[in-house]
Amino acid sequence: MHLADSNKKDGAVSKIESICARKDIEILYHTKQALSRISKNAKQDQGVAADIEASSYLSTQDFLSSASSSYRYIALDSIHNPQNLGMIIRSVAAGFIDGIILPKKGSAKISPLVIKASAGTLFKTSILYCDDLETALPEFKKDGADIYALSSHAKESLFDLELGKKTIFVLGNESEGVCKEVEKLSNKTLSIPMKNGVESLNVAVTAALLAYYS
């Protein structure tokens, strides 16, 4: 745990110090400037930073080497907005999706802003990482998973779908949607029916619908 010297008398920080003492967690004190270099986010850190190892963050290869007989994940294609990513993670943690698949290339990175937008639920959510979906999704298909890309142009409705034991939903960003290369890897493209001329939903809202779809 890293704390700014200037916060030593703060009540919230005193509580953090007490928790660390009970759990035998080492505390290092820094100047605010030095702590901001550690957190890499001076505007958000509020004088507190922590080194955390997330056991639920692993590669798609490691996951598939010991995958269960059933799972349901949301794969994210070019989701650049960290707030959207955080809100997606929060919906997944709350609902009936097992986790997300997050490519390293072309996606928002796990950052303090993502953690804040997820309201801390990032640490309760399975996050599988891969270099890109074009490489990872075929491996899931080999494992027997059905791949469904969400598209506002698809003729088949999500709500007519009968889910199998292993399912991957793919979401793209609002401006481009799922890229053609990833869409070609899908079993089907699916849409969410819209009324009143609405063309699309925010990607985080779509993820929330999927999290509670069964």
- At how many degrees (to 10) do helices 203-211 and 82-94 cross? 10
Return the closest-CA partner of residue 182 out of 76, 81, 73, 72: 76
Beta bridge partners of 77: 172
57-211 CATH, one of 3.40.1280.10, 3.30.420.40, 3.20.20.30, 3.40.50.1220: 3.40.1280.10
Domain positions in the chain: 2-49, 57-211
Give the C-alpha separation, 66 to 70, whole Å: 12
CA 104: distance to chain centroid?
12
C-beta of residue 6 within 8 angstroms of C-beta of residue 32: yes
Residue for token digits 């928790």?
19
Segment 47-88, tens digit of pLDDT: 888 777 666 789 999 999 987 899 999 999 999 999 999 999
Segment 142-183, tens digit of pLDDT: 999 999 999 988 999 999 999 999 999 999 987 889 999 999
